[in-house]
């Protein structure tokens, strides 16, 4: 599993390092990442699952605002289904941390690990050096390390992969409501 993760990170780094930041109205280039289950996730395959793809970047799993934001997306699953949108959360957390975060909060959507920050770079999302935090999870104290700390920004892609929405001033608790409102207006 570790070799697969390193291999995919190398491919991602090579593929994204030569690309400029995507802007509104442009198609988002394909990228590959590892999801919370340790599986390969590829944009060009996954974006076909719904009319819209909401991609929200967040700083760190198991922190207050990020947990509120994730749970809000989780709780509004039916609203996202009504507007034919799928949700993907992206952070600099390790895959194993995302797996725990999903289980602990019963999340019902995909989380992607962007430890190198390459996906964030593709979207122009501001980031800083990663850190380690300690959290008690299921009675055990764990050190959770992330490769980068990504700022909280949200994007929406249409089915063809065009970037149609960008929010760089995200309020964690209100993000999912704002996104649903935008999608209903289309």
Scanning 18-156, the segments in alpha helix (DSSP H) are 43-46, 64-75, 77-82, 95-105, 118-123
**Does the annotation mark 71 as catalytic?**
no
Which residues are 86's β-sheet partners? 53
Residue in 12, 60, 66, 170 annotated catalytic: 66
Query: What are the DSSP E strand ranges found in 83-175?
Result: 85-91, 110-113, 127-129, 132-137, 140-145, 148-150, 153-158, 163-167
42: part of which helix (H) or strand (E)?
Answer: strand 40-42
Contact criterion met (CB below 8 Å) for 88 and 53: yes
Task: Return all residues near 168 (Cβ < 8 A) that are at least 6 apart.
Answer: 151, 153
Catalytic residues: 66
């Amino acid at each position: 599993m570790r070799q697969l993760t390193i291999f995919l990170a190398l491919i991602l780094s090579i593929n994204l390092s030569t690309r400029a930041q995507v802007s509104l109205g442009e198609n988002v280039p394909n990228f590959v990442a590892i999801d919370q289950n340790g599986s390969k996730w590829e944009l060009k395959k996954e974006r076909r699952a719904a009319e819209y793809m909401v991609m929200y970047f967040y700083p760190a799993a198991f922190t207050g605002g990020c947990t509120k934001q994730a749970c809000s997306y989780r709780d509004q699953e039916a609203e996202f289904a009504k507007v034919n949108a799928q949700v993907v959360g992206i952070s600099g957390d390790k895959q194993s941390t995302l797996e725990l975060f999903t289980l602990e909060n019963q999340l019902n959507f995909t989380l992607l690990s962007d430890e190198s920050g390459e996906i964030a770079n593709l979207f122009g999302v501001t980031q800083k050096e990663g850190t380690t935090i300690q959290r008690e999870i299921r009675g055990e104290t764990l050190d959770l390390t992330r490769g980068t700390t990504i700022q909280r920004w949200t994007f929406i892609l249409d089915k063809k992969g065009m970037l149609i929405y960008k929010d760089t001033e995200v309020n964690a608790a209100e993000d999912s409501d704002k996104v649903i409102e935008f999608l209903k207006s289309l």
